[in-house]
Amino acid sequence: MTTADPGVAGSCLSLQGVEKHFAPRRSLLEIAHIRTPERLEVIDGVDLQVEAGAIVCLMGPNGSGKTTLLRLAAGVLLPDAGRVSVLGRDPAASAPARYSIGFLSSSERSFYWRLTAGRNLRFWGSLQGLHGRRLDRAVEEAASLAECREVLDRRFENISTGMRQRVGLARAVLHGPSLLLLDEPTRSMDAEAAESFYTVIRRLAGRGTAVLMSTHSASEAARLGRRTVRIEDGALREVHPDRIGGVELAIDFEGEAEAPPPAGMSLSRGRLLCPSDRLAAAVSWLEDAGLRILGVAGAKGTDDGS
Amino acid sequence: MTGLRTALAVAGKEMRLALSYRLSFAMGVAGSFLGAAMFYFLARLVDPGASSPLAMYGGDYFSFVIIGIAFQSYLGLSMDTMASSLRREQLLGTLESVAATGTPLPVFAAGGAMWQFVFASYRVVVYLLFGWLFFGLSLSAANLPASLLVLLLSVAAFAGVGVVSGSFILVFKQGDPVRWLYGGAATLLGGVYFPVQMLPDWLRPLSVVFPITHALEAMRKTVLLGAGPGEVSMQLLILAGFTAVSIPAGALAFKWALRRIRVDGTLGSH
């Protein structure tokens, strides 16, 4: 099990020892228990706490489990083991816990394309328990905050991809959630739109909203995330602020590491991750620990070239 | 109250989506007229005196079949609406977002059903209106309170089966055996287009296992012959029995299906 945060009582979002595996489509032999089905490991014992007002960026290569982690936090996916809680309640079992979440899916298809953006927001707001004048006001405020008021009367199918993302953000904040889960929210935005999006996120965090946001962009994480975590091979680890966007090395070794690694470095299944400028210190630590070095490579996905 | 408001919001959304496809909406109305006309001309081939099973429903094939078709659209809907509503959201890609809002999926599906029932009622009225205006359909003997009672009990019995069907759709996405059995086989064996008395002796016993057989018999007797609840008490009792079994079975199946797709992570898959 890896720990991205030691855990804080009263966290807005808390994941403790969460595991999730997916089984590929099973054959008849596997269904009949004649052959053991293959398990696709996605998340393997993850701990994460996100406090009110925090912005945590979640990074990791494609298929590493970022979206799975967000879906677990949103309560639409059940963990195989471990505990997920939002404001102390299991979001999969508690409607109030889910009402306190704003979830921005990475899929544009999560809207009704034949309806206007405004009609969509009104509909999704009513599912969140908003009605009448409260709903009118919430739509107005959310659209202003997400800067998408000018498209409220246009059919969703007729607005640009970047603007759809803004409408998605408006939907996520419509009911004033305590926790925002954002799945690659800026992927279709130009630099200017992304910048105004960062401003909105910072403003929401300033009001006490906890934000967990997945991104592929190290520069985005460096600019926005007061905290960045990285998921890879099912494990979650904290990324030191100075290392986001920098070059990181992965040193594969043989043997069991008994002592914790030096500050700024982390261990993950026979692999020591360290900043490139501290390679000598890392090698020295491995040799002192009696561990055999197998090879050194650049760690994936810590910079996006921007 | 919150559940009702949510269901009304879903019904409103369904209506707006349906009306955004204007051609399809207009064709649905035209289809009702064409269906009524087709069965009117078909009915002229049927000699009332030659068919004794038809005599117990008043002897007129057109009235017999129009009630069968109109009522089947209600029953088919109560069975199909949950599965079709969830399936549509799966295909649109919105089902996972709906679940993420904390909206109970049965409430969401019930909202979809509200609009479907309004639209089905509209089509039934159009059917009956065309039949009355152009093809001599007579409803003067109808016992409306008794017909309404039969309708409500039948819808409840079919809704339970519909929830089981919706559970299959959630997990398997397509290929729903409940729908096949109750939608396809029941049309043949339940007496929609012809009296079940015309089935061969070896096949006739099968027709009694389908609630539509009893629902249609009670509905035709109350609408065409003006029968009261006492005269269709056996059918009402059977429908109540189906309801008592199908509703709890549906609730259990849905609970299992919801857990299964949340474990598998296939809530948004199609």
Per-residue pLDDT reduced to its tens digit, B24-38 = 777 776 777 777 778
Which pLDDT score, from 0 to 100, does residue A50 have?
A: 94
The CA distance from B134 to B152, in Å, is 29
Structure tokens at A137: 């006001």
Which pLDDT score, from 0 to 100, does residue B80 have?
A: 78
Per-residue pLDDT tens for B149-179? Answer: 998 888 888 888 888 888 888 887 766 777 7
Q: Min CA distance, A126 vs chain B (Å)?
A: 6
Which pLDDT score, from 0 to 100, does residue B24 have?
A: 77
CB A59 within 8 A of CB A215: yes
**Closest in A23, A77, A95 to B102, CB measured:** A95
Which pLDDT score, from 0 to 100, does residue A46 have?
A: 92
Query: Which range, of A93-102, A240-249, B108-117, B230-239, averages the lowest pLDDT?
Result: A240-249
> Cα angle vertex A186, ends A181, A191, to 5°?
150
Contact check, Cβ <8 Å, A98/B102: yes
Which pLDDT score, from 0 to 100, does residue B258 have?
A: 83
Query: Which range, of A49-58, A226-235, A279-288, B74-83, averages the lowest pLDDT?
Result: B74-83
Phi-psi region of A86 (alpha: psi -120 to 50; beta: other; left: phi over 0): beta
Per-residue pLDDT tens for B3-60? Answer: 888 889 998 998 888 888 777 777 776 777 777 778 778 777 776 665 567 777 777 7
Q: Min CA distance, A275 vs chain B (Å)?
A: 36
For residue B227, is pLDDT > 70?
yes
B contacts of A114 (beta carbons < 8 Å): 16-17, 20-21
For residue A52, is pLDDT > 80?
yes
Structure tokens at B117: 């029932």
B contacts of A124 (beta carbons < 8 Å): 97, 101
Which pLDDT score, from 0 to 100, does residue A120 have?
A: 96
Which pLDDT score, from 0 to 100, does residue A2 have?
A: 41
The CA distance from A237 to A1, in Å, is 10
The CA distance from A169 to A186, in Å, is 10
A contacts of B6 (beta carbons < 8 Å): 126-127, 129
The CA distance from B113 to B107, in Å, is 10
CB A48 within 8 A of CB A6: no
Percent of chain B surpassing pLDDT 70:
93
Most B CBs within 10 A among A18, A126, A153, hence the mutation to make, goes to A126
pLDDT band (50, 70, 90) for residue B181: confident
Which pLDDT score, from 0 to 100, does residue A245 have?
A: 55
- Provide the residue count of chain A: 306
Contact check, Cβ <8 Å, B264/A22: yes
Greatest alpha-carbon span in chain A: 69
For residue A301, is pLDDT > 50?
no
Q: Min CA distance, B232 vs chain A (Å)?
A: 42
B144 CB within 8 Å of a chain A CB: no
B268 CB within 8 Å of a chain A CB: yes
The model's pTM: 0.73
Which pLDDT score, from 0 to 100, does residue B229 have?
A: 92
Q: Min CA distance, A215 vs chain B (Å)?
A: 20
Which pLDDT score, from 0 to 100, does residue A241 have?
A: 66
Q: Min CA distance, B171 vs chain A (Å)?
A: 13
For residue A304, is pLDDT > 50?
no
Name the residue of chain A whose CA is nearest to B6's CA. A127
Find where tokens 């006492």 sit: B230
The residues in B 171-230 lying below 8 A from A, measured between CB atoms, are none
- Beta strands A292-298 and A210-214 are unpaired
Residues in chain A whose Cβ is within 8 Å of chain B:
20, 22-23, 68, 71, 74-78, 80, 92, 95-99, 101, 103, 105, 107, 109-112, 114-115, 119, 123-124, 126-129, 131
Q: Which residue has the higher pLDDT, B184 or A260?
A: A260
Q: Min CA distance, B105 vs chain A (Å)?
A: 11
Contact check, Cβ <8 Å, A80/B263: yes
The residues in B 78-117 lying below 8 A from A, measured between CB atoms, are 92-94, 96-104, 108
The CA distance from A58 to B242, in Å, is 52
B contacts of A109 (beta carbons < 8 Å): 92-94
Sheet strands (E) in A51-156: 55-59, 81-86, 101-104
Contact check, Cβ <8 Å, A124/B20: no
Q: What ipTM, to 2 d.p.?
A: 0.73
Q: Min CA distance, A85 vs chain B (Å)?
A: 14
The CA distance from A237 to B243, in Å, is 54
The CA distance from A145 to A174, in Å, is 10
pLDDT band (50, 70, 90) for residue A142: very high
Contact check, Cβ <8 Å, A76/B267: yes
pLDDT band (50, 70, 90) for residue B145: very high
Per-residue pLDDT tens for A55-104? Answer: 999 998 888 889 999 999 999 899 999 999 999 999 988 888 888 999 99
Most B CBs within 10 A among A41, A110, A113, hence the mutation to make, goes to A110
